[in-house]
Structure 1
């Protein structure tokens, strides 16, 4: 979508008479890629569906405040990322464990998940990712699984491209070391 087309689409989303139809289009255009983004963060299908729904509700409620400082898709990714991270923090807090322990627990449950279609190598990769600090996990998952470019990730996470490249590089090195040891 060109910048002019996106601007027109945002105007439709912010107009009371065209908001409903435009929002249905927004959901249709973004639900699959946001699902996989959220799924890479929370790992559970049912939790992902809930967070995806919350993401679109939040976007619907706040579209009037969208200023166009970033792409609409980056804005949606930021909402989805924040929703997923908040969810993970709440779940770990409820279980009285760290976020890292909760994340490891979800990785351990992947094999039993009927919606997970990976093999043993995928599970090992997820185990390696679970050992990374949160920011490195985010950057790695967005770059590796969603194949987002650094500029898009920068807009979503509100950080510099240089910092993202460094985080990704460190994440890859740590994953390589983990995989060699296992």
Structure 2
């Protein structure tokens, strides 16, 4: 889990003024917090965080003397720059809705057409059981291969409550269309 040092937001400055100074305003809410907390982080830190992580990723925020376990709940951009990030504080005893991202490796070696159907899998779990990404290697996968949510061991775990059907198709490798059209023409003619 990534650890980010943040500060309480400077209430004397408006969000636009903070951004001009290279600071991104953020908010932490939910979990065991009684009130939401306005925080800020440097633009470089926010850019680095969002290059590496995605919505639903678990992040530990160090705020003064507190360590707050959160997930990235939302992010806002304008003109290609991070404008604001929302973090949801996580209660270790409460299940949280999140999303696991599917990462495909070796897609360049697929001989057929790769149809990506479901690249984010919504689920609920306790914070300790959260899944950020699942990597699927496509090396050696033949035309006709279909991978469903049920084919991923990480999702077939009692600690994960899927919010999609286990039979939902993540990806399919189909025959290249041009050769299929040629074969149909040859068979007909």
TM-score, length-scaled by structure 2: 0.25
Q: Would you tell me which structure has more helix in proportion to its own residues? A: 1
Q: Would you tell me which structure has more strand in proportion to its own residues? A: 2
More relative contact order in 1 or in 2 (CA 8 Å, sep 6+)? 1
TM-score, length-scaled by structure 1: 0.25
Greater radius of gyration (CA)? 2
